[in-house]
Structure 1
Amino acid sequence: MPTPDRTSLDEIVAAGRALLESEGLAGLTMQAVATRVGVRAPSLYKRVRNRAELVTRVAEATARELGERLDAAATGAPDGPARLMVLARTFRGFAHERPAAFGLLFTPGSDLAIDPDVLRGASASMLAVAAELSGPDHALDAARTLTAWANGFVSMELAGAFRLGGDVERAFEYGVHRLADALATGSP
Protein backbone atom coordinates (compact mmCIF):
# COMPACT_ATOMS: atom_id res chain seq x y z
CA MET A 1 0.00 0.00 0.00
CA PRO A 2 1.53 3.37 -1.02
CA THR A 3 2.02 6.05 1.60
CA PRO A 4 -0.62 8.77 1.54
CA ASP A 5 0.24 12.15 0.09
CA ARG A 6 1.01 14.65 2.81
CA THR A 7 0.76 17.73 0.61
CA SER A 8 -0.67 18.83 -2.69
CA LEU A 9 0.60 20.94 -5.56
CA ASP A 10 -1.83 23.71 -4.56
CA GLU A 11 -0.41 23.72 -1.02
CA ILE A 12 3.14 23.81 -2.37
CA VAL A 13 2.38 26.74 -4.65
CA ALA A 14 0.54 28.61 -1.89
CA ALA A 15 3.51 28.11 0.43
CA GLY A 16 5.82 29.30 -2.32
CA ARG A 17 3.76 32.43 -2.86
CA ALA A 18 3.78 33.22 0.85
CA LEU A 19 7.55 32.67 1.05
CA LEU A 20 8.12 34.88 -1.98
CA GLU A 21 6.45 37.78 -0.20
CA SER A 22 8.07 37.20 3.18
CA GLU A 23 11.56 36.12 2.13
CA GLY A 24 11.97 37.33 -1.45
CA LEU A 25 12.90 35.26 -4.47
CA ALA A 26 16.14 34.08 -2.85
CA GLY A 27 14.12 32.69 0.06
CA LEU A 28 11.85 30.71 -2.22
CA THR A 29 13.68 27.40 -1.90
CA MET A 30 12.55 23.81 -2.02
CA GLN A 31 13.65 23.34 1.59
CA ALA A 32 11.74 26.42 2.80
CA VAL A 33 8.57 25.30 0.99
CA ALA A 34 8.93 21.77 2.36
CA THR A 35 9.26 23.11 5.88
CA ARG A 36 6.22 25.33 5.41
CA VAL A 37 4.00 22.48 4.16
CA GLY A 38 5.34 20.03 6.75
CA VAL A 39 7.21 17.54 4.60
CA ARG A 40 10.83 16.76 3.83
CA ALA A 41 12.28 18.47 0.77
CA PRO A 42 12.58 15.25 -1.29
CA SER A 43 8.80 14.82 -1.01
CA LEU A 44 8.28 17.98 -3.06
CA TYR A 45 9.91 16.36 -6.08
CA LYS A 46 6.82 14.16 -6.46
CA ARG A 47 4.93 17.32 -7.46
CA VAL A 48 7.59 19.78 -8.69
CA ARG A 49 10.68 18.81 -10.73
CA ASN A 50 12.99 21.54 -9.41
CA ARG A 51 13.17 25.09 -8.11
CA ALA A 52 12.77 26.58 -11.60
CA GLU A 53 9.44 24.81 -11.99
CA LEU A 54 8.41 25.91 -8.50
CA VAL A 55 9.17 29.55 -9.32
CA THR A 56 7.31 29.26 -12.62
CA ARG A 57 4.26 27.77 -10.90
CA VAL A 58 4.34 30.57 -8.33
CA ALA A 59 4.53 33.12 -11.16
CA GLU A 60 1.64 31.46 -13.01
CA ALA A 61 -0.53 31.44 -9.89
CA THR A 62 0.32 35.11 -9.39
CA ALA A 63 -0.55 35.94 -13.01
CA ARG A 64 -3.88 34.13 -12.63
CA GLU A 65 -4.67 36.06 -9.47
CA LEU A 66 -3.79 39.38 -11.09
CA GLY A 67 -5.92 38.50 -14.12
CA GLU A 68 -8.87 37.54 -11.91
CA ARG A 69 -8.59 40.82 -10.02
CA LEU A 70 -8.41 42.81 -13.24
CA ASP A 71 -11.38 40.94 -14.71
CA ALA A 72 -13.47 41.55 -11.59
CA ALA A 73 -12.53 45.22 -11.47
CA ALA A 74 -13.31 45.81 -15.15
CA THR A 75 -16.77 44.31 -14.86
CA GLY A 76 -18.35 47.24 -13.03
CA ALA A 77 -16.93 50.16 -15.02
CA PRO A 78 -19.29 51.75 -17.57
CA ASP A 79 -16.96 52.52 -20.50
CA GLY A 80 -13.41 52.17 -21.83
CA PRO A 81 -11.83 55.17 -20.11
CA ALA A 82 -13.47 54.29 -16.77
CA ARG A 83 -12.43 50.64 -17.15
CA LEU A 84 -8.87 51.72 -17.88
CA MET A 85 -8.82 53.80 -14.69
CA VAL A 86 -10.11 50.88 -12.64
CA LEU A 87 -7.68 48.44 -14.24
CA ALA A 88 -4.71 50.73 -13.60
CA ARG A 89 -5.71 51.25 -9.97
CA THR A 90 -6.22 47.50 -9.51
CA PHE A 91 -2.83 46.78 -11.07
CA ARG A 92 -1.20 49.30 -8.74
CA GLY A 93 -3.05 47.96 -5.70
CA PHE A 94 -1.93 44.43 -6.51
CA ALA A 95 1.69 45.61 -6.76
CA HIS A 96 1.48 47.32 -3.37
CA GLU A 97 -0.14 44.28 -1.76
CA ARG A 98 2.20 41.70 -3.33
CA PRO A 99 5.38 43.57 -4.31
CA ALA A 100 7.63 40.52 -4.60
CA ALA A 101 5.13 38.66 -6.78
CA PHE A 102 4.65 41.79 -8.88
CA GLY A 103 8.41 42.02 -9.31
CA LEU A 104 8.60 38.36 -10.31
CA LEU A 105 6.03 38.86 -13.07
CA PHE A 106 7.42 42.10 -14.40
CA THR A 107 11.18 41.61 -14.11
CA PRO A 108 12.80 42.30 -17.49
CA GLY A 109 14.77 39.42 -18.91
CA SER A 110 13.18 36.86 -16.64
CA ASP A 111 13.62 33.32 -17.91
CA LEU A 112 10.31 32.11 -16.52
CA ALA A 113 8.52 29.67 -18.80
CA ILE A 114 5.01 30.90 -18.01
CA ASP A 115 2.29 29.15 -19.98
CA PRO A 116 1.14 31.49 -22.79
CA ASP A 117 -2.50 30.65 -22.00
CA VAL A 118 -1.98 31.91 -18.44
CA LEU A 119 -0.51 35.15 -19.79
CA ARG A 120 -3.39 35.55 -22.25
CA GLY A 121 -5.89 35.05 -19.45
CA ALA A 122 -4.14 37.56 -17.21
CA SER A 123 -4.05 40.09 -20.05
CA ALA A 124 -7.62 39.66 -21.30
CA SER A 125 -9.17 42.67 -19.54
CA MET A 126 -6.33 44.99 -20.50
CA LEU A 127 -6.49 43.84 -24.12
CA ALA A 128 -10.26 44.33 -24.19
CA VAL A 129 -10.12 47.89 -22.87
CA ALA A 130 -7.19 48.68 -25.16
CA ALA A 131 -9.20 47.44 -28.15
CA GLU A 132 -12.18 49.50 -27.06
CA LEU A 133 -10.08 52.65 -26.73
CA SER A 134 -7.73 52.32 -29.68
CA GLY A 135 -9.44 49.82 -31.98
CA PRO A 136 -8.77 46.14 -32.55
CA ASP A 137 -5.83 46.78 -34.92
CA HIS A 138 -3.91 48.54 -32.14
CA ALA A 139 -5.16 46.61 -29.10
CA LEU A 140 -1.90 44.77 -28.40
CA ASP A 141 0.18 47.93 -28.96
CA ALA A 142 -2.06 49.92 -26.65
CA ALA A 143 -2.13 47.20 -23.98
CA ARG A 144 1.66 47.01 -24.04
CA THR A 145 1.92 50.78 -23.73
CA LEU A 146 -0.47 50.85 -20.79
CA THR A 147 1.23 47.95 -19.05
CA ALA A 148 4.71 49.37 -19.61
CA TRP A 149 3.68 52.75 -18.23
CA ALA A 150 1.90 51.27 -15.21
CA ASN A 151 4.75 48.86 -14.51
CA GLY A 152 7.33 51.62 -14.75
CA PHE A 153 5.35 53.97 -12.55
CA VAL A 154 4.58 51.39 -9.90
CA SER A 155 8.11 49.95 -9.94
CA MET A 156 9.55 53.42 -9.35
CA GLU A 157 6.97 54.06 -6.65
CA LEU A 158 7.75 50.81 -4.82
CA ALA A 159 11.48 51.56 -5.05
CA GLY A 160 11.02 55.03 -3.58
CA ALA A 161 12.40 56.57 -6.76
CA PHE A 162 10.04 59.58 -6.87
CA ARG A 163 12.29 61.93 -4.92
CA LEU A 164 11.20 65.36 -6.11
CA GLY A 165 8.28 65.64 -3.74
CA GLY A 166 4.77 66.25 -4.94
CA ASP A 167 1.76 64.00 -4.77
CA VAL A 168 2.50 60.57 -6.26
CA GLU A 169 -1.19 59.63 -6.17
CA ARG A 170 -2.05 62.71 -8.22
CA ALA A 171 0.76 61.91 -10.68
CA PHE A 172 -0.56 58.36 -11.14
CA GLU A 173 -4.09 59.60 -11.81
CA TYR A 174 -2.75 62.24 -14.19
CA GLY A 175 -0.84 59.60 -16.15
CA VAL A 176 -3.77 57.21 -16.39
CA HIS A 177 -6.10 59.99 -17.55
CA ARG A 178 -3.62 61.19 -20.17
CA LEU A 179 -3.14 57.66 -21.50
CA ALA A 180 -6.89 57.10 -21.68
CA ASP A 181 -7.31 60.37 -23.55
CA ALA A 182 -4.47 59.60 -25.95
CA LEU A 183 -5.72 56.11 -26.74
CA ALA A 184 -9.32 57.24 -27.17
CA THR A 185 -8.33 59.71 -29.91
CA GLY A 186 -7.72 56.74 -32.18
CA SER A 187 -4.70 58.19 -33.95
CA PRO A 188 -1.57 56.01 -33.89
Structure 2
Amino acid sequence: MKKITKSMAILALLTSGSLAFAQNIKNIPEVKNSDDKALIVKADHQELEAKKKAAEEKTKLPKPYDPKADAEKDIEKMIAQAKKEGKNVIIQAGGNWCIWCLRFNQYVQTTPELKKLVDDNYVYYHLNYSPDNKNEKVFTEYGNPGDKFGYPVFIVLDQNGKMIHVQQSDVLEEGKSYSLEKVKEFFKTWTTKS
Protein backbone atom coordinates (compact mmCIF):
# COMPACT_ATOMS: atom_id res chain seq x y z
CA MET A 1 0.00 0.00 0.00
CA LYS A 2 2.83 2.41 0.83
CA LYS A 3 4.37 1.90 -2.61
CA ILE A 4 1.05 2.59 -4.31
CA THR A 5 0.44 5.67 -2.18
CA LYS A 6 3.92 7.06 -2.90
CA SER A 7 3.52 6.35 -6.59
CA MET A 8 0.12 8.02 -6.64
CA ALA A 9 1.51 11.07 -4.82
CA ILE A 10 4.38 11.37 -7.30
CA LEU A 11 1.99 10.95 -10.22
CA ALA A 12 -0.32 13.64 -8.77
CA LEU A 13 2.59 16.07 -8.37
CA LEU A 14 3.84 15.44 -11.87
CA THR A 15 0.35 15.76 -13.32
CA SER A 16 -0.45 18.99 -11.49
CA GLY A 17 2.92 20.45 -12.51
CA SER A 18 2.32 19.43 -16.12
CA LEU A 19 -1.18 20.87 -16.05
CA ALA A 20 0.06 24.16 -14.60
CA PHE A 21 2.80 24.29 -17.23
CA ALA A 22 0.31 23.49 -19.99
CA GLN A 23 -2.05 26.21 -18.73
CA ASN A 24 0.79 28.73 -18.75
CA ILE A 25 1.73 27.78 -22.31
CA LYS A 26 -1.92 28.07 -23.42
CA ASN A 27 -2.21 31.56 -21.90
CA ILE A 28 0.80 32.89 -23.79
CA PRO A 29 -0.23 34.43 -27.09
CA GLU A 30 1.02 32.98 -30.34
CA VAL A 31 3.38 30.27 -29.10
CA LYS A 32 3.74 28.54 -32.43
CA ASN A 33 6.60 26.09 -32.17
CA SER A 34 8.69 24.15 -29.71
CA ASP A 35 11.58 26.66 -29.93
CA ASP A 36 9.25 29.40 -28.68
CA LYS A 37 8.05 27.12 -25.87
CA ALA A 38 11.66 26.34 -24.92
CA LEU A 39 12.43 30.08 -24.70
CA ILE A 40 9.41 30.57 -22.45
CA VAL A 41 10.49 27.74 -20.17
CA LYS A 42 14.03 29.16 -20.07
CA ALA A 43 12.69 32.63 -19.21
CA ASP A 44 10.45 31.19 -16.48
CA HIS A 45 13.43 29.27 -15.07
CA GLN A 46 15.61 32.41 -15.09
CA GLU A 47 12.87 34.39 -13.34
CA LEU A 48 12.53 31.70 -10.68
CA GLU A 49 16.31 31.64 -10.18
CA ALA A 50 16.42 35.44 -9.84
CA LYS A 51 13.63 35.33 -7.23
CA LYS A 52 15.43 32.57 -5.35
CA LYS A 53 18.71 34.56 -5.31
CA ALA A 54 16.90 37.71 -4.15
CA ALA A 55 15.23 35.74 -1.33
CA GLU A 56 18.61 34.34 -0.26
CA GLU A 57 20.17 37.81 -0.41
CA LYS A 58 17.28 39.23 1.64
CA THR A 59 17.93 36.77 4.49
CA LYS A 60 21.53 38.00 4.78
CA LEU A 61 20.82 41.75 4.87
CA PRO A 62 20.05 43.76 8.04
CA LYS A 63 16.37 44.51 8.62
CA PRO A 64 16.16 48.22 9.59
CA TYR A 65 12.36 48.55 9.49
CA ASP A 66 10.37 48.03 12.69
CA PRO A 67 6.67 47.29 12.08
CA LYS A 68 5.98 47.80 15.81
CA ALA A 69 7.48 51.30 15.94
CA ASP A 70 5.31 54.33 16.60
CA ALA A 71 6.36 56.21 13.47
CA GLU A 72 4.57 59.44 14.40
CA LYS A 73 6.41 59.74 17.72
CA ASP A 74 9.71 58.58 16.20
CA ILE A 75 9.54 61.20 13.44
CA GLU A 76 8.70 63.93 15.98
CA LYS A 77 11.85 62.94 17.90
CA MET A 78 13.88 62.92 14.67
CA ILE A 79 12.69 66.44 13.82
CA ALA A 80 13.60 67.71 17.31
CA GLN A 81 17.03 66.08 17.01
CA ALA A 82 17.53 67.53 13.51
CA LYS A 83 16.66 71.03 14.74
CA LYS A 84 19.08 70.71 17.66
CA GLU A 85 21.90 69.41 15.42
CA GLY A 86 21.25 71.70 12.41
CA LYS A 87 20.44 68.79 10.08
CA ASN A 88 17.60 67.69 7.83
CA VAL A 89 15.66 64.44 8.18
CA ILE A 90 15.63 61.67 5.61
CA ILE A 91 12.82 59.17 5.89
CA GLN A 92 13.52 56.01 3.92
CA ALA A 93 10.08 54.48 3.44
CA GLY A 94 9.78 50.79 2.67
CA GLY A 95 9.95 47.51 4.49
CA ASN A 96 11.99 44.45 5.31
CA TRP A 97 10.09 42.65 2.52
CA CYS A 98 11.62 44.97 -0.10
CA ILE A 99 14.99 43.83 -1.50
CA TRP A 100 15.79 47.29 -2.92
CA CYS A 101 15.05 48.90 0.47
CA LEU A 102 17.44 46.49 2.18
CA ARG A 103 20.05 46.94 -0.54
CA PHE A 104 19.96 50.74 -0.20
CA ASN A 105 20.34 50.56 3.57
CA GLN A 106 23.26 48.14 3.22
CA TYR A 107 24.85 50.25 0.48
CA VAL A 108 24.81 53.41 2.58
CA GLN A 109 25.97 51.65 5.74
CA THR A 110 28.90 49.90 4.04
CA THR A 111 30.07 52.74 1.78
CA PRO A 112 32.21 54.95 4.06
CA GLU A 113 31.82 58.21 2.13
CA LEU A 114 28.02 57.80 1.96
CA LYS A 115 27.76 56.84 5.63
CA LYS A 116 29.80 59.91 6.60
CA LEU A 117 27.75 62.17 4.34
CA VAL A 118 24.51 60.91 5.90
CA ASP A 119 25.80 60.93 9.50
CA ASP A 120 27.19 64.47 9.15
CA ASN A 121 24.10 65.96 7.51
CA TYR A 122 20.96 64.01 8.35
CA VAL A 123 18.88 62.34 10.97
CA TYR A 124 17.80 59.14 9.22
CA TYR A 125 14.63 57.14 9.80
CA HIS A 126 13.29 53.91 8.27
CA LEU A 127 9.51 54.28 7.95
CA ASN A 128 7.87 50.87 7.81
CA TYR A 129 5.27 49.98 5.22
CA SER A 130 4.12 46.36 5.49
CA PRO A 131 0.96 44.31 6.06
CA ASP A 132 1.80 44.40 9.80
CA ASN A 133 1.86 48.20 9.88
CA LYS A 134 1.15 50.37 6.86
CA ASN A 135 1.56 53.62 8.83
CA GLU A 136 -1.31 55.02 6.78
CA LYS A 137 -1.66 58.25 8.76
CA VAL A 138 2.04 59.11 8.33
CA PHE A 139 2.10 58.18 4.65
CA THR A 140 -1.05 60.24 4.02
CA GLU A 141 0.62 63.25 5.67
CA TYR A 142 3.42 63.01 3.09
CA GLY A 143 1.14 62.42 0.09
CA ASN A 144 1.52 58.62 -0.11
CA PRO A 145 4.71 58.73 -2.22
CA GLY A 146 5.04 54.94 -2.23
CA ASP A 147 1.83 54.70 -4.24
CA LYS A 148 3.40 56.88 -6.91
CA PHE A 149 7.05 55.81 -6.86
CA GLY A 150 7.17 52.38 -5.23
CA TYR A 151 9.72 51.47 -2.55
CA PRO A 152 12.06 52.55 -1.27
CA VAL A 153 11.05 56.16 -1.52
CA PHE A 154 12.80 58.96 0.33
CA ILE A 155 11.07 61.86 2.07
CA VAL A 156 13.31 64.77 3.01
CA LEU A 157 12.17 67.06 5.82
CA ASP A 158 13.75 70.30 6.92
CA GLN A 159 14.63 71.01 10.56
CA ASN A 160 11.06 72.13 11.22
CA GLY A 161 9.50 68.97 9.81
CA LYS A 162 8.37 70.53 6.55
CA MET A 163 8.58 68.15 3.60
CA ILE A 164 11.01 69.67 1.09
CA HIS A 165 11.58 66.79 -1.34
CA VAL A 166 10.44 63.30 -2.29
CA GLN A 167 12.97 61.15 -4.11
CA GLN A 168 12.11 58.01 -6.04
CA SER A 169 14.83 55.40 -5.79
CA ASP A 170 14.88 53.76 -9.22
CA VAL A 171 16.76 56.73 -10.70
CA LEU A 172 19.55 56.05 -8.16
CA GLU A 173 19.93 52.40 -9.18
CA GLU A 174 22.74 50.92 -11.20
CA GLY A 175 22.60 47.23 -12.06
CA LYS A 176 21.64 45.30 -8.94
CA SER A 177 22.85 48.11 -6.68
CA TYR A 178 23.01 51.88 -6.62
CA SER A 179 25.16 54.49 -8.36
CA LEU A 180 27.64 56.07 -5.97
CA GLU A 181 27.59 59.37 -7.87
CA LYS A 182 23.79 59.59 -8.07
CA VAL A 183 23.30 58.71 -4.39
CA LYS A 184 25.99 61.20 -3.34
CA GLU A 185 24.36 63.90 -5.44
CA PHE A 186 20.96 63.18 -3.87
CA PHE A 187 22.36 63.41 -0.34
CA LYS A 188 24.44 66.53 -1.09
CA THR A 189 21.53 68.36 -2.71
CA TRP A 190 19.31 68.26 0.39
CA THR A 191 21.78 69.04 3.19
CA THR A 192 21.41 72.19 5.26
CA LYS A 193 25.00 73.11 4.47
CA SER A 194 26.07 74.85 1.27
Same-fold call, TM > 0.5?
no
Bigger strand fraction: 2
Q: Which of the two has greater helix per residue?
A: 1
> What TM-score does the superposition give when structure 2 sets the normalisation length?
0.29
